[in-house]
Structure 1
Amino acid sequence: MNRTSAKAAVLGTAVLALTACASTPPQGATTAEAKGGAYTWWDPYPQHDAGSAWAKRVGACGQQAGVTIQRTAYDTTALTNQALLAGQEGNAPDVILLDNPAVSTLADAGMLTAMSDFGLEVNRFDKNLITAGELDGKTYGIPIGANTLALYYNKKILDAAGVDPETIKDWVSLNAALKKVKEAGKKPITFAAIGTEEGSFQFLPWFWGAGAQLTQLDSPQAVEALQLWSSWLKDGLAPNSVISNSQNTTWEEFLTGEFAFAENGTWQIDSAAKAGFPTGIVQIPAKAGGTAPTPTGGEFITVPVQKDTKRYDVTKKILECMTTPEGLVETGTTFAYYIPSTADGQQAILAKEPSLKPWVAAVQSAKGRTSDNLGTKYPKISEALWTGVQKALSGAASPADALKEAQAQAKQATGN
């Protein structure tokens, strides 16, 4: 999430991520240099250099498998483009760590090996998480962890406004809380509605929480979700800046101490703990009550097709090392925080960090963006969705008209 980027060009347009990494030169050896006696690993974490805890974590799994891992780090867009190119040239690395919406794109291009082809057990991974790595009934990647969204709150503002966050259970109670904050002279809520994948990512909990489906962007439920967001701007409960807000700028707004709520993700846990005011989180509520499904962010380990299939035996050992309960906890805490993608891993991280309990619950109810077998159709649908959200929030069209146009755009782009 805080390590991923916007959509790539050409074939890479099907790969959408959530926030931008700085473009950094690759670290480590090329595939051709390493194939002799080492195993090659590509990931989207250029901010973690060779001396980082992450690099050591990857290296240790190689050592446990009896090989040396030579790691190359690209930003997400460059990684996806390089992966597609390497697949076309037959020179792919042994392992690629991909943002989860990219898995179906590379699988559809025929460059990934199904987990079943080299005997890796996937049933232990949470079904709602691993579906993002599935295409046409086969699993092409496994999650190293997951992050997702919730509502952070400023306890000082809520106390002053007489709002108990525990009472926020549905849209009615949330709206009541926001109005109390405004009446107390404070700013109620901020979020990211920027015209990129980040905007879709932040809108999806409200969209899904209303009961809408990505196959029908203009359903009555979808319109209700967009009407909710639009009403917040119209009624002064959210600032107009949300139209151009990224998740990072939204978080910067929240850290000023002026907002009661901000929609943001697991990756802000450490930052929230260091804020100059007490914070907490509540789950994003569904319209009629309960927790809304939130989209999953996070990377999947994938295995590109190799001409020498004997390499898969060692690759399997590397993947198993990365995804033991202990391994998932180590990855989760290295990135502060990823929630482990298995029940055993979640229990293990809670034993170490009990405060993560609300985030574990959020991940357990989350949903992959490419789920429902959307696969490579998702990026086209998402672009139509964020375009519609932008039109409605800017006042260029009503929520109903904006989503009617969005549905037409998605239908034309996907062919159905």
Structure 2
Amino acid sequence: MPVHMEGVDHQPGVELLHGLLDEIVWLDRSPFLAASAAAPGMPHVTTLPPGTVPRLPEGVKRAAVAFAPEHGPAARATATGAGLALLAPDPAVTALASDKIDSLPLFGEAGVSTPDHLVVPASGRADASSYRRPHWRAAVVQRRENNLVGRGTRHAGDREELRACMEEWPDRELRVTERLDGWPLTASGCVFADRTLISGLSYQVVGVPGLAPGWGTHCGNQLPGPNDLPGGTHRRVTRAARAIGEVLRSRGFRGVFGIDLVLTVPEHRVVAIEINPRFQTVVSLIQCGERQAGLLPALGAHVLALRGVRGLPVRTAEPPADRWGQFVVHAMRDGPAPVLPSPGRYRLTVDGHLSGPSELGAGLPDLGPDEALVWVQTPVGQPVREGDELLLVQLPGPVVDPHP
């Protein structure tokens, strides 16, 4: 399967960035994504947790970028408190794209298939049997509102499980979708004022017991190898994701986005599931590939997109053969966050001894086969809910054996 990355040529890209700002303030609780963007010539990136009150030196041109600016008021409040412009897409189009029900016409406009679905109204509901097609093997139930950790997604293998979901969410509109067998994939890209670029394709790891309490919880990603997916997959997924990105562009969306899709078996159809109009954890892997391929990291591309730069020097590149992967550990219950390994670089010796943490070095591309990078997402003792992210672990190889 030939794989290519689309992106902004690195050197002209960083020159454009330096004409706009000296520093990017990354608003997120962990610096893992900012670290993967640390390519030569990139403006300095400072990571600040949303909700902090930063004291930044004066005389520096800065702008803020947030992982998920639509997820509560903290990112915008932090940027405003620091006197920074928050480079984020329009909230109205972000809300439309992230809505599990209202976003469905966008896929139709893009000419991209979606699974068969029915909508459960918030009131005046019929029996659960009315919201499940007889030929469906199983269904997926989603609340319309966006959620970063999959709390709004449930599996319904039969009418009784669907009825339980409806009882758990009695006053909400629900999207009930036919569950499709296949490879769960994510296409990552960036929407500019004059075009959409698709920078990478990744395999999703979802709902792994021991890592997460929920069936639909995101547990990680990995970059596919040349023989992991059927021939033509990358081309067809890229075409679908670009078409959706162009629809978003027509609505005024700008910046980094991702599309969750399924490559079905046995038909090998590309079917779109949802839009993530923001950064995703997998962008950290994509940025490593962009750096190796001589492309501007997604964080830099996002800045150029939100500043309205047109006519960018874009090109297609072949990424490195590395199959980097990462997995996320979630809280299994409500309560204080437990004691976690310190962030840094770890090594597992042949006798089973774990050493570390040591300095990060050059990051993920620099890891040996027996090493890993650990990033803490939640400080010890901080209150967490079941499903909250605790820890991110990045590996130089795949996390799981990719299969449909």
* TM-score for both structures, normalised by structure 1: 0.28
* TM-score for both structures, normalised by structure 2: 0.29
Larger strand share, 1 or 2: 2
Structure number with the bigger relative contact order (C-alpha 8 A, sep ≥ 6) is 1
